[in-house]
A = this chain, B = another copy of it.
Amino acid sequence: MVNDARQYCYLKGPFELKFGGVLHSPTIAFETWGTLNASKDNGVLIFTGLSPSAHAASADADPSLGWWEDIVGPNKPIDTDQYFVICANSLGSCFGSTGPASINPKTEEPYRLEFPKLALEDIAATTKEVLKHLGIDSLKAVVGPSMGGMTAMGLLLKYPSICEQLLLISTASASRPFSISLRSLQRLMITSDPDWKSGQYTVDDLPLNGMKLARMLGMITYRSAAEWNQRFGRDLVPSSENRDSFFKVDFQVEQYLHNRSNDFVGSFDPNAYLYLSRAIDLFDLGAYGESLADALSGFELDKITIIGVDKDFIFPFDYQLELCNAFQENKIDCKLIQLESVQGHDSFLVDTENFGSAIRTFFT
């Protein structure tokens, strides 16, 4: 038997999406850690980036390591002895929540491209249903790294007083053309793989090459040049004398990219990747007002902390500064922290020392 800590929230009836599509009774998978107190006000909701599941941390029901294992747990920066922590798999993803690979009850086939156009606001709205399911009206805090930060702001647009505190990490109010173009290229890598078959691939015959290329581009741009100078330099792999390797793998950095991207492909549904990637491009907090500050003027928050990394290609630190300025224009107490992490956008997943310390401070 597979270890599984997932619980499920079954939405009843039609769920209307931001861009007009409708899903019939979608499901959201989620996990929780810690105990909800009697007044039900110690909840901490974590929104994920594009690719993680709801399994942020290990638990008795699933002892496998979570994607934020060093951050979430007893006595950890998000302390599950103190807080009731909730993490849902995003709508549109493929780890238990309804997405393009799920069965469309109308056709009894996977949705594939019949899945409606997705917005991060839809992920926020379905996650709100999870809170309702758990009997939670308001949260101690919402935590959103990367795409999750955008989703968190999408939740606050509709429920401006849902949490006391907001922690945004390596995120932005909207994507800019540089990161849009990188994601657009990743999608083209997938959709131009003949095995994508206009989205009609089967699980036995996935567009693995397109997914591998997209993952490699992600790995390159989620990290930083400085980190790779330290880790790999120009070191060669032992077999680089091999004539056959001329267009394959000479340098250790290439071997690393090949090996790590092979680990990923096959575990994520390509169509889900396309939908979530596009949803990031389309999110635009500023479009909810006459200015960014106007758009978030309704947010009722005691405290915000925004953490960013100066070497982040995808969500450069400027984006976090812009957000902080917009909160401060609204007289919301906003603390901006720039970390010197060398791992670029992915730092929040791997630089436990710096992020752990900053997140612990946020919760004290």
Contact = CB atoms under 8 A, between A and B. Distances in A.
A120 interface: no
B257 A184 contact: yes
A164 interface: no
A354 interface: no
A134 interface: no
Interface string A196-220: 0000000000000100110011001
Interface residues of A, number: 49
A307 to B, nearest CB: 20
SS class, residues of chain A in contact with chain B:
helix
Interface stretch (A7-15, A171-179, A323-331): A171-179
Contact of A213 (B192, B225, B252, B254): B192
Copies in the complex: 2
A176 B220 contact: no
Contact of A247 (B185, B191, B220): B191
B189 A228 contact: no
Contacts of A284: 234
Contacts of A308: none
Contacts of A250: 278, 281-282
A65 interface: no
Contact of A176 (B175, B234, B278): B234
A183 B316 CA distance: 23
Given A184-B249, A184-B254, 18 more contacts: A174-B234, A176-B233, A176-B234, A177-B225, A177-B252, A177-B253, A178-B220, A178-B225, A184-B251, A184-B253, A185-B213, A185-B216, A185-B257, A188-B213, A192-B213, A194-B194, A246-B278, A250-B282
11 contacts: A176-B225, A177-B252, A177-B253, A181-B216, A181-B253, A184-B257, A185-B217, A185-B257, A188-B213, A188-B216, A246-B278
Interface of A: 117, 174-182, 184-185, 187-189, 191-192, 194, 209, 212-213, 216-217, 220, 224-225, 228-229, 231-234, 243, 246-247, 249-254, 257, 274, 278, 281-282, 284, 313, 316
